[in-house]
């Protein structure tokens, strides 16, 4: 298994980093932080397939963990001495994770960085909002978003991503701790737009996969134009900057989500229209539901997102859905 070696930056402040979640992205975050020279602990739960695989072999389908990483199922041990907590779990269980964290551990003085892209279905809240409900101060919370696949990073293919936060100093510090030639970070200045855009791009990934499955990939251009436009409308209604929809958190992430062979959401959509089950996490399925509810509540027109939700819940034939969507575009533009 080929792993890229990150060039050492001896001027970088070294921190104690704990990653919560042993899946594809969580294991990468641990590998990446260790490669930067940070002291890293990776936490997972006994019985979870991803944790047990790493415990037994020290590797998964994507990478081999450096020996310097401590792998543990003891949450208190994992969190106790950490300066930075990076959370990478399915978005719909984030509230449960926060409940466990705050009931068992002292998070005072620690940064918490969310590394997943989703909206809570039951409340319509962004994940940073959920974190703040548990007593964290705004300066503690940051969001890591933007394009990139583990399979590309571990062989040395670089990309650009974005860090956003409620506090500008937090954004600057997190970037200072994690920047490298492998990942160039941009400074976010609209946490609402960053979180909504990052979550919503997964819904567009499902549509893109559906187009691939029906040999209609040429329509992805129309999808990108209309998709970013409806997401911009929602961001504006929520008080964010609509231009964020055209940045790295959303439109800038389309290549990795709408076209890449590694995109779970694109693969889920392609499998759906072909009648093949995709058994890995595709956050866009839950995000479509959350955003459709939110759009209805706020009166925001989001035809693509709502149609994906209807397709999944009401089993509307995918080709019928695509015909309805793209006939509409001829009449109404974007």
Active site residues: 201
Query: Angle formed by the axes of helices 283-298 and 264-273, to 10°?
Result: 90
Asked whether 117 and 286 are in contact (CB, 8 A), the reply is no
Distance (Å, whole) CA 113 – CA 107: 12
Sign of the dihedral through C-alpha 156, 162, 163, 169: positive
* Number of neighbours of residue 142 by Cβ within 10 angstroms: 26
**Neighbour-count burial for 218-229, b at 16+ CB within 10 Å, e otherwise:** ebbeebbebbbb
* Number of neighbours of residue 128 by Cβ within 10 angstroms: 22
Burial of 290 (0-12, 13-18, 19+ CB in 10 A): buried
* Residue found by looking up tokens 């958190």 in the block: 249
DSSP state of 159: E
């Amino acid at each position: 298994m080929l792993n890229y070696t990150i060039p050492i930056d001896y001027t970088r402040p070294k921190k104690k980093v704990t990653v919560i979640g042993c899946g594809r992205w969580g294991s990468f975050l641990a590998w990446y932080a260790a490669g930067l020279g940070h002291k890293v602990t990776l936490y997972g739960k006994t019985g979870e397939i991803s944790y047990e695989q790493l415990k037994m072999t020290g590797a998964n389908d994507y990478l081999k963990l450096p020996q310097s990483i401590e792998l543990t199922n003891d949450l208190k041990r994992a969190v106790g001495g950490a300066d930075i907590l990076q959370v990478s779990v399915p978005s719909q269980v984030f509230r449960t994770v926060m409940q466990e964290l705050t009931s068992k551990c002292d998070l005072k003085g620690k940064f918490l960085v969310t590394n997943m892209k989703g909206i809570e279905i039951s409340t319509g809240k962004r994940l940073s909002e959920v974190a703040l409900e548990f007593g964290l101060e705004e300066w503690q919370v940051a969001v890591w978003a933007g394009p990139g696949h583990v399979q590309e990073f571990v062989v040395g293919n670089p990309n650009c991503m974005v860090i956003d936060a409620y506090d500008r100093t937090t954004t600057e510090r997190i970037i200072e701790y994690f920047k490298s030639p492998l990942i160039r970070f941009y400074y976010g200045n609209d946490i609402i737009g960053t979180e909504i855009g990052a979550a919503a791009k997964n819904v567009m990934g499902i549509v893109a996969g559906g187009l691939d499955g029906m040999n209609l990939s040429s329509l992805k251009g129309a999808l990108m134009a209309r998709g970013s436009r409806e997401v911009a409308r929602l961001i504006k209604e929520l008080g964010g900057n609509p231009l964020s929809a055209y940045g790295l958190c959303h439109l800038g992430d389309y290549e990795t989500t709408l076209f890449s062979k590694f995109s779970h959401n694109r693969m889920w959509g392609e499998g759906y229209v072909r009648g093949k089950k995709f058994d890995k996490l595709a956050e866009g399925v839950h995000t479509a539901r959350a955003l459709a509810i939110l759009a209805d509540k706020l009166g925001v027109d989001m035809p693509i997102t709502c149609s994906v939700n209807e397709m999944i819940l009401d089993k509307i034939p995918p080709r019928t859905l695509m015909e309805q969507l793209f006939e509409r575009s001829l009449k109404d533009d974007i």
